[in-house]
Amino acid sequence: MKLGVRWGILGPGAIARSFATAIDALEGHEITATGSRDPDRAVAFNAERNYGAEVGSYEQVASSDSVDAVYVATPHPGHLEHASLALRQGKAVLCEKPLTVNASEARAMCELARENGVLLMEAMWSRFLPATRRVEGWLASGAIGEPRKLAASFGFRAPFDPKSRLYDPELAGGSLLDIGCYTLSLAALVFGQALIGTEGPEIEVTAELAPTGVDQHCNIVLRFPSGAEANLQCSIDRQTDHTAAIQGTEGGIALDEFWRARRAVLYRNSIRAATSEFPFLANGYEYQAMEVERLLREGAIESPLLPHAESIALMERMDEIRRRIGVQYPFESTIGVTETVGEPN
């Protein structure tokens, strides 16, 4: 395979613009097709970035011979449908986080990728950042001993608008799926199988619901059989400190703006032992695109950095959190099961 990736975009919105900025900075990567239900939006997306990309429907982009991989950037409820279009055409898929809206959909998407032998990766961009990889290395080497506590917070204030994607239940709105997934992903990095294994931790959650019924604020506590604990917070109605702190038996790790971290700090005996700085090449979205390129070269269907099983397990944990707080989306038959997908096996 030649250097780079030819990308098709499904859903030319704000997140796709951020992704495009990263693609523009990578040698050999280019956006060759833009798909939208509204052709004018696709035309405008191409024009503002001086792209000569094809414009078409989601189906046309997914089947285009000029596309190696499809980036799914549509609202959460469209992820399964739109990723499936590409997977059935043999196109690699980088699907925006959360992978789907619930575990039944995540299982269906990953199974389709396996059936077709096609690469599928969740665009949890924080997991591919160099700073995150450094933290992963410190944890693996035992630099802080056994992880015992994690505290992570991500919140911003979005004025209430019942029609916005953040507050609309028809669009799977709420803080958990939009940004709480980042805190859970970090917890998976820190605690591994204790979080994503079949047993899972004890979960305690308190939440405040918006007038539309979605969660606007969640406090989540994960308690593990070992005695380790994660305290996670996500909000779309208030600003939080955006930090993450990992405490181990022999040291700790600190991250500012952990979901887009450029720096990781290692502490031993309360003394700073190492500081690693990682300026972005563009805006941070480039590292997930680079991972897709690497996986395509290898002929892989999933990333070892974020395998399908982990994406599914985190959707299962988010389903359980929603059960605890009573957030069910209109298109679900029960919490965690989309009517058109059916009960999980």
Of 322, 109, 98, nearest in space to 214 by CA: 322
- Rounded Cα distance between 182 and 232, Å, is 10
Q: Which of 2, 91, 97, 149 is catalytic?
A: 97
What lies within 8 Å, CB to CB, of 163 at 6+ separation is: none
- Encode 102-112: b = buried (16+ Cβ within 10 Å), e = exposed: bbbbbbbbbeb
CB atoms within 10 A of CB 221: 14
Q: Which helix (H) or strand (E) segment is 276 a member of?
A: strand 271-277
What are the distances in angstroms from CA 221 to CA 13, 47, 67, 186? 33, 46, 42, 14
3-class secondary structure, 37: coil
Say whether 149 is catalytic: no
- Rounded Cα distance between 275 and 209, Å, is 39
**Could you give phi then psi for residue 211, rounded to 5 degrees?**
-55, -25
What lies within 8 Å, CB to CB, of 215 at 6+ separation is: 174, 175, 176, 207, 208, 209, 322, 325, 327
Question: What residues are labeled active site?
Answer: 97
